[in-house]
């Protein structure tokens, strides 16, 4: 009986080999026969050539945009324009900071419907600093910096990412975000419609910033607008005391006072084709005329504007 069983197995194996050889001669597609191992093969593209999957690319460095905002008739309109831009930028996290003692219902509803990653903070500006001629949005920008440092303080370096200060009265080209994403330390570029000129910009020679084309106080250490630079996240984390200062800071000097704490002019990285292209504009919405708004005979419904 054992001998008979082995003979039957041998006949099955020989028959299987004959069937495989016959199928190959006839041009039949190869099948996986029991007990037969096949070498791995590359998938085939429609053009008949082998297709190999592309190597996995590293994720894009995130961009953190800190935006101070305050209550005014055009606030929602400004934020809507900004959100429509940010929504088209990959891996952007919006840090929206209200100048208020608590989150307003208008901005809270707006953030819920914005359709992009957003952190909603609030901190009021002390009344003594709301006089004309004093720097604005200092507390709000510092609150955004504190949130960013707290979020990343327990994570090991290096931590890729870029920070920039996106005021809500500016207009941004999408190209600007691709330019700033490769920032190693501090990058700079021109800003349009600022300083009483068509534009202001860093002057670049041989790939290095050597001066400033500006219409106001060219003697500033960094004669640049708040919308004209970005900072590496690693630089922000490595300089935990770098903040916007109230004491001793003059209007128009906040950019210089902040950048002096983290970099030098020689280290600046020119972007936007060596600072020859304008990719952000300080547009500022026109002051709204509400002179015909009634005081007594109001509409029967209340509409958020």
Active site residues: 255
Binding site for Mn(2+): residue ranges? 169
Adjacent-strand bridge partners of 67: 96
Residue 235 CA to residue 148 CA, distance in Å, equals 12
Binding site: residue ranges? 68-70, 99, 136, 141, 167-169, 282-284
Binding site for UDP-alpha-D-glucuronate: residue ranges? 68-70, 99, 136, 141, 167-169, 282-284
Residue 292 CA to residue 279 CA, distance in Å, equals 37
Distances in Å between the Cα of 33 and the Cα atoms of 13, 27, 44 are: 11, 16, 22
User: Phi/psi at 47 (nearest 5 deg)?
Assistant: -80, 5
Q: What is the dihedral of CA 145, 148, 150, 154, to 10 degrees?
A: -140
Give the CA angle between residues 215, 217, 220 to the nearest 5°: 125
Question: What's the number of CA atoms in the CB half-sphere (13 Å) around residue 109?
Answer: 7
Residue 202 CA to residue 75 CA, distance in Å, equals 31
């Amino acid at each position: 009986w054992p001998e008979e069983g082995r003979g039957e197995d041998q006949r099955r194996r020989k028959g299987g080999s004959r069937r495989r050889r016959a199928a190959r001669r006839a041009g039949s597609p190869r099948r996986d026969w029991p007990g037969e191992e096949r070498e791995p093969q590359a998938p085939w593209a429609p053009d008949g050539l082998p297709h190999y999957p592309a190597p996995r690319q590293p994720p894009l460095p995130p961009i953190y945009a800190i935006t101070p905002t305050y209550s005014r008739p055009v606030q929602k309109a400004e934020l809507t324009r900004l959100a429509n831009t940010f929504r088209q930028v990959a891996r952007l996290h919006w840090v929206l900071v209200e100048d208020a003692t608590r989150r307003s219902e208008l901005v809270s509803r707006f953030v819920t419907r914005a359709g992009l990653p957003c952190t909603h903070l609030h901190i009021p500006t002390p009344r003594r600093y709301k006089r004309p001629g004093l720097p604005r949005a200092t507390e709000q920008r510092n609150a955004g910096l504190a949130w960013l440092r707290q979020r990343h303080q327990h994570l090991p370096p290096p931590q890729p990412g870029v920070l920039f200060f996106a005021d809500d009265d500016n207009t941004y080209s999408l190209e600007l975000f691709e330019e700033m994403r490769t920032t190693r330390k501090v990058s700079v570029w021109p800003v349009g419609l600022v300083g009483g000129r068509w534009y202001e910009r860093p002057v670049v020679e041989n790939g290095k910033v050597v001066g400033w084309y500006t219409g106001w106080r060219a003697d500033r250490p960094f004669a640049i607008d708040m919308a004209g630079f970005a900072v590496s996240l690693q630089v922000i984390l490595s300089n935990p005391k770098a903040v916007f200062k109230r004491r001793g800071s003059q209007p128009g000097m906040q950019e210089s006072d902040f950048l002096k704490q983290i970099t030098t002019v020689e280290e600046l990285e020119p972007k936007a084709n060596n600072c020859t292209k304008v990719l952000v504009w300080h547009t500022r919405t026109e002051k709204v005329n509400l002179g015909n708004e009634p005081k007594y005979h109001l509409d029967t419904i209340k509409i958020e504007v």
